[in-house]
Chains A and B, each alone.
Chain A
């Protein structure tokens, strides 16, 4: 089955700096890659996603890139703010299978 690896497991940045989180996936048939933000005591919140037919997508301070050949995708957060502090999860799924396979998460701490 699909395996998604995520790193780093923890990331600490200064407010205003950029943060990058990377994920690799194993199943070349995967075609949908969402990113979720989870705050303490809450469910995961979808923040951005990318389909396999594009290489990059941006939404304000958040961007995601996808390299299908290398089977990896990354989340980029620019101009980080303290409210960006949370655990971020990448995930992958493929056509015909509805389940998402998640990475193990990255705890991002933005120091004011």
Chain B
């Protein structure tokens, strides 16, 4: 059984560049979430998908951020024109939704640490 995987694990970029991260959820999970975590803080919700539909976006998700989940499996998070304030750990999580699943157990990947110089 493989858990949630994320790629790359680390990314260093210069301000103004675009970056893209990938997340592969647990195989049977139909919900996928993106969170951002800055040093010394808890994760903050960015967006989530159920299958391929993006159902909620946080106000933290500025128009420089875009997320996709084209086939309801893996997801990508792109940040355009990166700024130093984008430096953070970007975490992906997945969960299973269904008629018999009432609550929201989310399982996290190892994260992608982004450093913007």
Contact = CB atoms under 8 A, between A and B. Distances in A.
Given A98-B56, A99-B33, A89 B43 contact: yes
Chain B CB count within 10 A is highest, among A34, A49, A89, A98, for: A98
Nearest to A33: B103
Nearest to A93: B104
A55 interface: no
A44 interface: yes
Given A34-B105, A46-B107, A99 B56 contact: yes
A44 B108 contact: yes
- Give the secondary structure class of A's interface: strand
B108 A100 contact: no
B107 to A, nearest CB: 6
A112 interface: no
Contacts of A45: 108
Contacts of A105: 40-42
Nearest to B92: A43
Interface residues on B, range: 20 to 34
A46 to B, nearest CB: 6
A79 B92 CA distance: 32
Contacts of B106: 34, 46, 100
A71 to B, nearest CB: 18
Interface of B: 4, 31, 33, 35, 40-45, 48, 55-56, 58, 91, 95, 102-111
Contacts, number: 63
Interface residues of A, number: 27
Interface of A: 4, 6, 31-32, 34, 36, 41-46, 49, 51, 89, 91, 93, 95, 97-105
Given A43-B91, A44-B91, A49-B103, A102 B42 contact: yes
Given A43-B4, A104-B41, A98 B109 contact: no
A41 B113 CA distance: 9
Contact of B104 (A6, A32, A43, A89): A32
A53 to B, nearest CB: 10
